[in-house]
Amino acid sequence: MKDKILNGCKSIPVKNLVNYIKQGKVSLSELIGAGLPDDKVQGIRNLMAAEEESSWAEAKNQDTLESYRLYVSTYPEGVHVDEAHAKVDYYDDFNWNHTKQNISETSLNAYLDKFPDGKHVSECNYLLSDLPWLKAQEINTIAAYEEYKINNPGKHTSEIVQLINDLNDDNDWENACLMSSTDAYRRYLDQHPNGKHAYEAQSKIQASAGHDIFIDELMEDPNSHDAREIQTKVGNNVISWEDIAQVFGEDKKEAIKAFKLPSPLPEKNPPTKLQGNSTEVYFWGTPSSGKTCALGSIISNAQSMGILEMLDCSGKDYMTRLSNIFGKEGFCTFPDSTSVENIQEMILKLRDKKSRQHKLTLIDLAGELFRSAYFKRNSLFLSQDKADTLDIALNYLKDSRNEKIHFFVVEYGAHDNEWEGLKMVNYLDNMISFLKKENIFRKSTVGVYVLVTKCDKIQCPIEERPKMAFEYVTQKMPSFWNNLESTCKKASVGDLKVLSFSVGDVFAKNLCKFEGADTIKVIGKLITKTDAEGGFWDWLRQ
């Protein structure tokens, strides 16, 4: 068709020649080359110039490679020819980028068919000349690269070395992750000291070491870390809940998982004077001795047994909170640490087996009293508020209206623990000497007991705990015990004993599965050492 047009162009009307040009059957330059007269050439140009703007608008409307190519071929010297070429180049680049993402013999030849004079023809031909390399890259295995190296010696040598190293690196890292052990990650680093995953391997080794240490500590002592710390370690991916289940068991794991920090116990200024007509029960304890837990277990258990009546007093809210700590079933959360400067007065009645009521005032003494007594006894500066708290406690203790019972609460194994520069046993020794000097233990003192808490830590059968608790006090705190024993003997205190005590199976410091046998013994002691209301001694006291 083109040859026929070129051969007869001199006789073909200008309008028809323009149509042929617009249809892409022939170009103006080809017609000029075929000897088209100048007047017809000018006529074609004039007619095409009149239609160029509408043709450009049509090309932009279609916005295709073919529409822009048609414009260029129709108007090689057109006003918009540069813009049209830019659009053709855009489609060229777009197609080439797509071809490179899916390189194959088919895709490369398809590019050449579409852009025989394209910008990337040279690169395309180069790639087509090395199709085996393309196939090796597409397979991307060590075997494929090794085969290419054998069949094409000397080609892509450095690339093959790097690609094989990368594949070995990835394979070894994948195996290390599957084994997920410190040894596996160390083995990876030995093989690839500067590998792609070296930093991650180092991080995992450090995390794994932290994991192993933490789990070993929990295995050795279930109370080496508290529940909040365990939750944090899981949250930071140092350990997993599966690890915790293996250490503690599924039920305890769920208790740790659900743990929430308890609300702080209320604080209130103590009364300057205790109510009368009640046996006063004093609980002495340095910080972290387990004193508050012991009080909570006594009040909770008495309430669950149905033998407790709480009376109005300054510490009733405190007593009510303690009564909700330990239940008969399930896991219990220990209360938050109480203020070392707070004294709480809790008045209650306990009903014995004959339904008689025994009225008691439980006094939770401030741990700070141990430091205050030490400062006063050694003539050290004592602030006014601490001196006032100590005076309030001494006023209670010296009030002779009521009989008194004393519980010195000590934590098993904590005699060497330090608080403000002194060991706990030093504070206990000093306190007994201070009370002795103040003549606190008198005939009104009906019982003095050393309550050794956390005896569940003793590695012995339960029935041997009382003996082990006694040996602990007499052997690890001999000065405290001997001083207490001689003081009680001089004051004719008829009942001095060491009592082993545990609230049950304690774990993660904050949680326990309550077991009330020791608590019941203490409750029994409180009932037997106090008079029932309406009895002879109650009448005599009134």
Hey, is 114 helix, strand or coil? helix
| CATH label of the domain that carries residue 519 | 3.40.50.300
Q: What is the pLDDT of residue 325?
A: 84
CA dihedral 232, 235, 237, 242 (to 10 degrees): 90
Which residue is it, tokens 């001997």? 482
Strand (E) or helix (H) holding 27? none
Beta bridge partners of 309: 349
Amino acid in position 163: L
Q: What is the pLDDT of residue 339?
A: 65
Locate all alpha helices (DSSP H) within 195-290, ordered by sequence. 198-220, 227-235, 241-248, 250-257
Token pair, residue 209, equals 């070491």
Query: Is 447 contained in some domain?
Result: yes
How does DSSP classify residue 407? E
Beta-strand pair 404-411/511-514: unpaired
Q: What are phi and psi of 34, to 5 degrees?
A: -80, 5
Query: Is 430 contained in some domain?
Result: yes
**Contact status, residue 210 vs residue 238, Cβ threshold 8 Å:** yes
**Contact status, residue 379 vs residue 246, Cβ threshold 8 Å:** no
Query: What is the domain extent for residue 329?
Result: 279-541
Neighbours of 128 (CB within 10 A): 15
Query: Is 329 contained in some domain?
Result: yes
Residues of the chain with confidence (pLDDT) below 50: 536-537, 539-542
Query: Is 161 contained in some domain?
Result: no
Token pair, residue 182, equals 């410190």
Beta bridge partners of 272: none
Dihedral sign, Cα of residue 230, residue 235, residue 239, residue 240: positive
CA neighbor of 453 nearest in space, from 293, 233, 287, 253: 293
Q: What is the pLDDT of residue 340?
A: 60
Strand (E) or helix (H) holding 25? none
Q: What is the pLDDT of residue 356?
A: 95
Q: What is the pLDDT of residue 43?
A: 85
On whether the pTM is more than 0.85, the answer is no
pLDDT digits (tens, 9 = 90+) for 100-132: 888 788 888 898 898 888 899 898 888 887 778
Query: Within 13 Å, how many C-alpha atoms sit on residue 420's CB side?
Result: 12
Strand (E) or helix (H) holding 279? strand 279-285
Instruction: Out of 117, 152, 180, pick the residue that ends a domain.
Output: 117
Could you give the CA distance from residue 293 to residue 300 in angstroms, rounded to a whole number? 10
Token pair, residue 120, equals 């990337």
Could you give the CA distance from residue 231 to residue 514 in angstroms, rounded to a whole number? 22
Query: Within 13 Å, how many C-alpha atoms sit on residue 354's CB side?
Result: 9
Query: Is 156 contained in some domain?
Result: no
Could you give the CA distance from residue 410 to residue 417 in angstroms, rounded to a whole number? 11
Query: Is 126 contained in some domain?
Result: no
Q: What is the pLDDT of residue 327?
A: 66
Residues with Cβ within 8 Å of 478's Cβ and at least 6 positions away in sequence, in order, are none
Strand (E) or helix (H) holding 491? none
Expressed in percent and rounded to 5, the helix, strand and coil fractions of the chain are: 55, 10, 30
Instruction: Out of 62, 87, 117, pick the residue that ends a domain.
Output: 117
Query: Is 257 contained in some domain?
Result: no
Instruction: Out of 117, 137, 163, pick the residue that ends a domain.
Output: 117
* Domain total of the chain: 2
Query: Is 274 contained in some domain?
Result: no
Q: What is the pLDDT of residue 363?
A: 95
